[in-house]
Amino acid sequence: MLTKPLGTFTILAISQDSNLMGVATASGSINVGDRVPHAKPGVGVIATQAYTNVVYGIKGLELLQKGLSPEEALAKLLREDSERSMRQVAIMDFKRRKAVFTGSAVPECWAEVVGEDYVVIGNLLSTKDVVSSMARTFEASKGALASRMVNALHVGSKSGGDKRGERSAALIIVSQEKVEIEIKVGMHEKPIEELSCRLKVAKVKNQC
């Protein structure tokens, strides 16, 4: 069953000490946090977007937990999906292994960048520079993982963002043991700014 494509830009990343992983996303659709970002403590993070199929997030994490690598998990998920050409997916685990897929039917403009400790993907973008600018910003930044990731979203938005503008955003940070931070901005005129404000409150309790 098809859903409307979610024009979305997302970053998956791991901290330099490999203790934390996260996924941060923003979209022109509402409630992006309920569909695109998936994370499990001690396992990894996944983003599933474009014509979103949440099975990639739910089952993908299960496959990682069973010992499959991101590439193996993604290959299995794609084989079982007759509409895989409409998916954009990124998977990353705590071993820093990564897998990325963008189908031939994913809405233009789309892009993907894979770095040493991050992956950035996006579709239905105003320009490919949205993704490349996010990657450059994350690489150049220092400090807490969550702040670096949200800052990358800010830069992606300023570089053009979603063709429709952003309406929602989300952030999940996990450690080996638990979910450290989970923030969902379901609908807001400036969702990334709101995400940043909520993160500041959350960081009073969590040093992420």
Q: What is the CATH number of the domain that holds 79?
A: 3.60.20.10
Q: Is residue 2 in a domain? A: no
Give the global pTM: 0.94
> Does residue 178 fall inside a structural domain?
yes
Does 207 map to a domain? no
Instruction: Say if residues 9 and 26 touch (Cβ distance below 8 Å).
Output: yes
Q: Which helix (H) or strand (E) holds 199?
A: helix 191-202
In terms of Cα–Cα distance, which of 16, 32, 5, 8 is closest to 195?
32
Residue 37 has pLDDT above 90, yes or no: yes
Answer whether residue 181 is part of any domain: yes
What helix, strand, coil percent values describe the chain, rounded to 5?
A: 30, 30, 35
For 26, phi then psi, to 5°, come to -140, 150
Q: Decide if 208 is inside a domain.
A: no
Q: Is the pLDDT of residue 185 over 80?
A: yes
- For residue 198, give its domain range: 8-202
Total domains, the chain: 1
Does residue 1 form part of some domain?
no
Two tokens, residue 54:
């949440």
Contact, 91 vs 77, CB < 8 A?
Answer: no
**pLDDT tens digit sequence for 54-102:** 999 999 999 999 999 999 999 999 999 999 999 999 999 999 999 999 9
